Amino acid sequence: MAKKTVADIDVKGKKVLMRCDFNVPLDDNRNITSDDRIVKAMPTIKKILNGGGSLILMSHLGRPKGERDDKYSLAPVAKRLSELLGKKVKFVDDCVGDQAAAKAKALKSGDCMLLENLRFYKEETIKDKAAKEDAQLRQAKDDFAKKLADMADIYVDDAFGTAHRDNASMYTVPMLMKGKPRVIGFLIEKELKFLGDTLKNPGKPFVAILGGAKVSDKIGVIENLIGKVDRIIIGGAMAYTFLKGNGKTIGKSLCEDDFIDKGQELLKQAADADCEVILPVDHHVVRELAPGVQYKTAVGDIDPGFQAVDIGPIAAQTYTEKIRDAKTIVWNGPMGVFEIPPFDTGTKAVAMAVAEATDKGAISIIGGGDSASAVNQLGLEDRISHISTGGGASLEFLEGKTFKCIEILDEK
């Protein structure tokens, strides 16, 4: 997708409406515990402000279910933005309405303001399919989007984390701004470059590492990667749907019985495409999952009454060896219940192997979510080529899906 970016347009004297992903984690006192998403938006923000534009930022935070809930307010984000920019970022207590429109109109060149959480309005998350089928919903979504669109001369999308969603701010607003410049920011440009180039022209061996709970979440990814990658390494609870299909006893381990046949079908497709699929041969298992619980290592079958919570040491060593010579690596999903030590050892081993391969010249992409959290917790982020800001979006990209909210933006 060769889309125009903020570098391709003149923003001087213009009002710029920019969709960001400021869905940052907050503690119980509403302090930001990681400002990574804010920091990654700064290059685009600075480009617009330094270019003489006045900037209206919009985002969602959490899932307030279409009504105001102050625990999801973006006020802490405005404070952090002001600190990072070294200048006051005005915060508007609403995202639409007379107050927001008046403050947007009053902005001068170089000014920046942040609108309150878009998801305080249910209209933001009305799905386009529902809007097409229900004239009342369509009108509500259009009316909400028009209030946002009318604030600005230019639309910028730099929210990769929601690029797979047809939210009003992501799709309806730029549709209503047709005829005005509609471009992407530097963060989305980087995401598209890394993910797109990797799938189009990967260095070989190309290794995909997939973890997490459900095979059903990854079917499309696996189908799209078979034929592109040389190896698929599978960990996490999703492995047990494959292993049960292979005739293994898996005890109480999580398994999607409805997808056992599909799992076997995928393994056959991979074998036919000469794509190696590596499953764990040993496992850390427990009777009940809880912090500090005693665990044992099971090789092969898992006894009744036990559930797997991490890959075992043999699997960790095998996975490390299968990653070591990779030239391209895509990783999405942990190897176990990594948030409860010591069931993070498999994920740690994979993270270290990916970092070491990157040190030797491999291109590595972490697909957001729990994998990104694991890498950050281990302090390995500087040894990874690219950590995506969009877990769900990067998964859909790896499935080969297109994002219509980006497709409608201006071509170079």
Active site residue: 214, 287, 324, 327, which one? 214
Would you say the CATH fold of 202-398 matches that of 6-188? yes
pLDDT in tens, 295-309: 999 999 999 999 999
| pLDDT > 90 fraction of the chain, expressed in percent and rounded | 79
71 pLDDT above the threshold of 70 = yes
Quick one: average pLDDT of 56-65? 96
Per annotation, catalytic residue among 47, 62, 392, 404 = 392
In this predicted structure, the answer to whether residue 86 has a pLDDT above a threshold of 90 is: yes
15 is catalytic: no
Structural domain spans, the chain: 6-188, 202-398
| pLDDT tens for each residue of 263-317 | 999 999 999 999 999 999 999 999 998 888 899 999 999 999 999 999 999 999 9
Question: Is the pLDDT reported for residue 1 higher than 70?
Answer: no
Q: Tens digits of per-residue pLDDT, 339-376?
A: 888 999 999 999 999 999 999 999 999 986 778 888 88
Whether 324 sits among the annotated catalytic residues: the reply is no
Q: Is 214 a catalytic site residue?
A: yes
- For the domain made up of 6-188, give the CATH fold: Rossmann fold (3.40.50)
Cβ–Cβ contacts within 10 Å for residue 317, how many? 14
| Average pLDDT taken over every residue of the chain | 93
Tell which wins on pLDDT, 96 or 193. 96
State mean pLDDT over 374-383.
89
Would you call 392 a catalytic residue per the annotation? yes
Active-site position among 51, 333, 369, 390: 369
| Architecture of the domain defined by 202-398 | 3-Layer(aba) Sandwich (3.40)
Q: Which pLDDT does position 62 carry in this prediction?
A: 94
- Indicate the pTM of the whole model: 0.85
User: Which member of 15, 37, 103, 244 is catalytic?
Assistant: 37
